[in-house]
Amino acid sequence: MTDHVLTYMTFFPVAGMVAVLLLPRERHDLIRWVSALFTVPPLLLAVWLFRNFDRANPGFQFIEKFDWIPAYNIQYFVGVDGISISMVLLTALLSFLCIFASWGIDKGVKGYFALFLLLDAGMMGVFVALDFFLFYIFWEVMLLPMYFLIGIWGGPRREYAAIKFFLYTLFGSVLMLLAILALYFTTEPHTFDMTQLIAQSDRYGTTPLPFWPFDQLRWGFQHVVWMALFIGFAIKIPAFPFHTWLPDAHVEAPTAISVILAGVLLKMGTYGILRINYSMFPEATGDLAFWFLGALGAWNIIYGALCAMAQKDLKKLVAYSSVSHMGYVMLGMATFTPHGINGAVLQMFNHGTITGMLFLMVGVIYDRAHHRDIEGFGGVAAIMPVYTGVSAFAIFASMGLPGLSGFISEVLVLLGAWQKYPVLSVLGASGVILTAGYLLWTVQRVFLGATNEKYKTMPEINGRELFTMIPLAVIILIVGVYPSVVLDLLSASLEQLNQAVIPHLG
Amino acid sequence: MDHPIQTDYLRWIVLLPLLGAVWNGLLGAQLQKRLGKWVISLFACGPVVGSFLLSVAAFQDLLSREPEQRFLIDRVYPWITLATLNVDVAFWVDPLSAVMILVVTGIGGLIHIYSVGYMHDDRSFWRYFAFLNLFTFAMLMLVTADNLLLMFIGWEGVGLCSYALIGFWYHDHVNTRAGNKAFLVNRVGDFGFILGIFLIFWSLDHHGHATVTFREIQKFVSLLQGQEIWGIGVITLATLFLFLGATGKSAQIPLHVWLPDAMQGPTPVSALIHAATMVTAGVYMIVRLHFLYSLAPLTLHVVAFIGLATALGAATIALTQTDIKRVLAYSTISQLGYMFLGAGVAAYGAAIFHLMTHAFFKACLFLGSGSVIHAMGGEQDMRNMGGLRRHMPWTFLTFTVAVLAIAGTPLTAGFFSKDEILWQAFSSPHGTPLLWFFGVVGAGLTAFYMFRQLFLVFFGECRANHHVKEHLHESPAVMTLPLVVLAVGSIVAGWIGAPAAFAPMFGPNLFAAWLEPVVGGRHEAQGSATLEEILMVLSVSVAAAGVYLAYRMYFKRSLSPERFSSLANGRPYRLFFNKYYVDEFYQSVFVDGALKLARVGAWIDEHIIDFIVDGSAKTTAFVSWLNGLFDNYVIDGLVNAVADGTFWAGGKFRKVQTGNINSYLYVILGAVIVVIIVKLRYGS
Q: Which of A163, A303, A415 sits opposite B198 (nearest CB)?
A: A415
The three-point CA angle B119-B123-B124 to 5° equals 80
Quick check: A382 and B171 CB within 8 A?
yes
Using CA atoms, how far apart are residues A36 and A48, in angstroms rounded to an integer?
19
- Tell me if chain B has a CB within 8 Å of the CB of A432: yes
Strands B72-82 and B5-6, by their bridges, are parallel
Please list every residue in chain A whose beta carbon sits closer than 8 Å to the beta carbon of residue B194. 411, 414, 429, 432
Position B662 scores a pLDDT of: 80
- B673 assigned to some structural domain: no
Please list every residue in chain A whose beta carbon sits closer than 8 Å to the beta carbon of residue B205. 419
Return the SS3 of A131. strand
- B681 assigned to some structural domain: no
Contact between residue A364 and residue A461 where contact means Cβ atoms under 8 Å apart: yes
Please name the residues in contact with A229: beta carbons below 8 A apart, sequence gap of 6 or more.
Answer: A175, A176, A179, A272, A273, A276, A277
* A and B: number of Cβ contacts within 8 A: 143
Nearest CA in chain A to B155: A402
Query: How many angstroms separate the CA of residue B100 from the nearest CA in chain A?
Result: 22
The three-point CA angle B153-A413-A305 to 5° equals 85
Instruction: Specify the number of domains making up chain B.
Output: 3
* Domain termination site, one of B559, B577, B595: B577
Q: What is the DSSP letter of B323?
A: B
Tell which phi-psi region holds residue B208, choosing left (phi > 0), alpha (psi between -120 and 50) or beta: left
- B354 assigned to some structural domain: yes
Q: Which of A338, A414, A449 sits opposite B171 (nearest CB)?
A: A449
Position A262 scores a pLDDT of: 92
What proportion of chain B, given as a percentage, has pLDDT over 90? Answer: 49
Using CA atoms, how far apart are residues A265 and B237, in angstroms rounded to an integer?
41
- Tell me if chain B has a CB within 8 Å of the CB of A436: yes
The verdict on B101 and B220 lying in the same domain is no
Using CA atoms, how far apart are residues A76 and A7, in angstroms rounded to an integer?
10
B90 bridge partner residues: B75
Quick check: B83 and A491 CB within 8 A?
yes
Cα B396 to its chain centre, rounded Å, is 31
pLDDT in tens, A225-237: 999 999 999 999 9
Using CA atoms, how far apart are residues A324 and A247, in angstroms rounded to an integer?
12
Q: What is the DSSP letter of B171?
A: T
Please list every residue in chain B whose beta carbon sits closer than 8 Å to the beta carbon of residue A308. 598
Q: Which of A307, A402, A451 sits opposite B152 (nearest CB)?
A: A402
Quick check: A440 and B184 CB within 8 A?
yes
Q: What is the DSSP string of B125-144?
A: HHHHHHHHHHHHHHHHHHHH
Find the range with the poorest average confidence among B99-113, B479-493, B657-671.
B657-671
Closest CA to A14 of A87, A93, A95: A95
pLDDT over 60 (residue B684): no
The verdict on B140 and B151 lying in the same domain is no
**Region B100-128 average pLDDT:** 91
Selected for mutation to probe chain B from A164, A235, A307 (highest B CB count within 10 Å) is: A307
Contact between residue B341 and residue B88 where contact means Cβ atoms under 8 Å apart: no
Using CA atoms, how far apart are residues B136 and B21, in angstroms rounded to an integer?
9
What are the Cα distances from residue B680, in Å, to B671, B674, B676? 14, 10, 6
Quick check: A449 and B170 CB within 8 A?
yes
What proportion of chain B, given as a percentage, has pLDDT over 70? Answer: 99
- Tell me if chain B has a CB within 8 Å of the CB of A430: yes
* Domain termination site, one of B557, B577, B597: B577
Return the SS3 of B86. strand
What is the residue-averaged pLDDT of chain A? 91
The verdict on B109 and B212 lying in the same domain is no
pLDDT over 90 (residue B13): yes
- Terminal C-alpha separation, chain A: 47
Position B343 scores a pLDDT of: 93
Selected for mutation to probe chain A from B30, B82, B131 (highest A CB count within 10 Å) is: B82
Quick check: B177 and A444 CB within 8 A?
yes
Half-sphere exposure of B264 (CA within 13 A, CB side): 24
B77 bridge partner residues: B89
Using CA atoms, how far apart are residues B57 and B493, in angstroms rounded to an integer?
19
Q: At what angle do helices B413-427 and B324-344 cross, to 10 degrees?
A: 40
Using CA atoms, how far apart are residues A53 and A41, in angstroms rounded to an integer?
17
What are the Cα distances from residue A484, in Å, to A106, A271, A405, A491? 41, 20, 11, 10
- Tell me if chain B has a CB within 8 Å of the CB of A99: no
The verdict on B102 and B173 lying in the same domain is no
Helix (H), strand (E), coil (C) string for B206-272? CCCCCCCEHHHHHHHHHHHCCCEECCEEHHHHHHHHHHHHHHHHCCCCCCCCHHHHHHHCCHHHHHH
Contact between residue A117 and residue A16 where contact means Cβ atoms under 8 Å apart: yes
Quick check: A306 and B600 CB within 8 A?
yes
Closest CA to B256 of B173, B337, B152, B348: B337
Using CA atoms, how far apart are residues A72 and A412, in angstroms rounded to an integer?
43
pLDDT in tens, B634-646: 888 888 888 888 8
Position B645 scores a pLDDT of: 87
Selected for mutation to probe chain A from B194, B195, B591 (highest A CB count within 10 Å) is: B194
pLDDT over 90 (residue B473): no
pLDDT over 80 (residue B441): yes
pLDDT over 80 (residue A208): no
The three-point CA angle A209-A214-A216 to 5° equals 100
Quick check: A450 and B599 CB within 8 A?
no
pLDDT in tens, A156-198: 888 888 888 888 888 899 999 999 998 998 888 889 999 988 8
pLDDT in tens, A297-324: 999 999 999 999 999 999 999 999 999 9
Quick check: B190 and A432 CB within 8 A?
yes
pLDDT in tens, B378-430: 888 888 888 888 889 999 999 999 999 999 888 899 999 999 899 989 888 88
| Sign, CA torsion B311/B314/B317/B319 | negative
Cα B249 to its chain centre, rounded Å, is 4
The verdict on B271 and B137 lying in the same domain is no
- Residue A441: pLDDT band with limits 50, 70, 90: very high
Helix (H), strand (E), coil (C) string for A140-152? HHHHHHHHHHHHH
Q: Which of B172, B188, B595 sits opposite A433 (nearest CB)?
A: B188
Using CA atoms, how far apart are residues B105 and B112, in angstroms rounded to an integer?
10
Using CA atoms, how far apart are residues B481 and B501, in angstroms rounded to an integer?
33
The verdict on B508 and B592 lying in the same domain is no
Helices (H) and strands (E) in chain B, counts: 30, 5
- Residue B475: pLDDT band with limits 50, 70, 90: confident
pLDDT in tens, B505-540: 888 888 888 888 888 877 776 657 788 888 889 999
Please list every residue in chain A whose beta carbon sits closer than 8 Å to the beta carbon of residue B196. none
The verdict on B155 and B71 lying in the same domain is no
The three-point CA angle A178-A180-A181 to 5° equals 65
Using CA atoms, how far apart are residues B529 and B526, in angstroms rounded to an integer?
8
Query: How many angstroms separate the CA of residue B215 from the nearest CA in chain A?
Result: 21
pLDDT over 90 (residue A76): yes
- B675 assigned to some structural domain: no
pLDDT in tens, B47-89: 999 999 999 999 999 989 888 888 899 999 999 988 889 999 9
Position B525 scores a pLDDT of: 65
- Tell me if chain B has a CB within 8 Å of the CB of A205: no
Query: How many angstroms separate the CA of residue A424 from the nearest CA in chain B?
Result: 12
pLDDT in tens, B329-353: 999 999 999 999 999 999 999 999 9
pLDDT over 60 (residue A1): no
Please list every residue in chain B whose beta carbon sits closer than 8 Å to the beta carbon of residue A422. 229
**Region B124-138 average pLDDT:** 93
The verdict on B151 and B138 lying in the same domain is no
Kindly state the greatest CA–CA separation across chain B.
156
Position A215 scores a pLDDT of: 63
The verdict on B311 and B414 lying in the same domain is yes
**Region B596-616 average pLDDT:** 88
Closest CA to B368 of B404, B417, B410: B404
Quick check: B176 and A339 CB within 8 A?
no
Using CA atoms, how far apart are residues B564 and B371, in angstroms rounded to an integer?
31
Position B527 scores a pLDDT of: 59
Q: What are phi and psi of B219, to 5 degrees?
A: -65, -40
The verdict on B496 and B640 lying in the same domain is no
Instruction: Name the residue ranges covered by the structural domains of chain A.
Output: 2-497
Nearest CA in chain B to A241: B609
Return the SS3 of B174. helix
| Sign, CA torsion A352/A355/A361/A364 | negative
Query: How many angstroms separate the CA of residue B137 from the nearest CA in chain A?
Result: 12
Quick check: A487 and B77 CB within 8 A?
no
- Tell me if chain B has a CB within 8 Å of the CB of A440: yes
Q: What is the DSSP string of B275-306?
A: IISGGGHHHHHHHHTHHHHTT-HHHHHHHHHH
Please list every residue in chain A whose beta carbon sits closer than 8 Å to the beta carbon of residue B187. 432-433, 436
Position A264 scores a pLDDT of: 94
Using CA atoms, how far apart are residues B345 and B320, in angstroms rounded to an integer?
30
pLDDT over 60 (residue A292): yes
Find residues 299-318 of chain A whose CB sits inside 8 Å of chain B.
303, 306-311
ipTM for this model? 0.91
Quick check: B80 and A419 CB within 8 A?
no
Quick check: B598 and A310 CB within 8 A?
yes
* Domain termination site, one of B543, B577, B611: B577
Nearest CA in chain B to A417: B198
Find residues 389-418 of chain A whose CB sits inside 8 Å of chain B.
389, 396, 401-403, 407-408, 411-412, 414-415, 418
Range of the domain at B638: 582-666
Please list every residue in chain A whose beta carbon sits closer than 8 Å to the beta carbon of residue B29. 385
Judge if the upstream peptide bond of residue A189 is cis by omega within 30 degrees of 0.
yes
Q: What is the DSSP string of A138-195?
A: HHHHHHHHHHHHHHHHS-TTHHHHHHHHHHHHHHHHHHHHHHHHHHHHHSSS---BHH
Query: How many angstroms separate the CA of residue A311 from the nearest CA in chain B?
Result: 8
Q: What is the DSSP letter of A69?
A: E
- B676 assigned to some structural domain: no
Contact between residue A472 and residue A356 where contact means Cβ atoms under 8 Å apart: yes
- Residue B230: pLDDT band with limits 50, 70, 90: confident
Find the range with the poorest average confidence among B145-159, B197-211, B653-667.
B653-667
**Region B371-375 average pLDDT:** 89
Position A2 scores a pLDDT of: 62
Please list every residue in chain A whose beta carbon sits closer than 8 Å to the beta carbon of residue B80. 408, 412, 483-484, 487
Contact between residue B373 and residue B271 where contact means Cβ atoms under 8 Å apart: no
Using CA atoms, how far apart are residues A322 and A316, in angstroms rounded to an integer?
10
**Region B584-601 average pLDDT:** 87
The verdict on B125 and B183 lying in the same domain is no
Q: Which of A241, A419, A429 sits opposite B194 (nearest CB)?
A: A429
Residue B637 CB neighbour total at 10 angstroms? 13
- Residue B1: pLDDT band with limits 50, 70, 90: very low
Using CA atoms, how far apart are residues A134 and A206, in angstroms rounded to an integer?
27
Q: pTM of the predicted model, to two decimals? A: 0.90
Position B683 scores a pLDDT of: 66
pLDDT over 80 (residue A213): no
Position B225 scores a pLDDT of: 86
Please list every residue in chain A whose beta carbon sits closer than 8 Å to the beta carbon of residue B163. 440
Quick check: B83 and A303 CB within 8 A?
no
Query: How many angstroms separate the CA of residue A136 from the nearest CA in chain B?
Result: 24
The verdict on B178 and B128 lying in the same domain is no
- B6 assigned to some structural domain: yes
What proportion of chain A, given as a percentage, has pLDDT over 70? Answer: 99
Quick check: B184 and A436 CB within 8 A?
yes
Quick check: B194 and A414 CB within 8 A?
yes
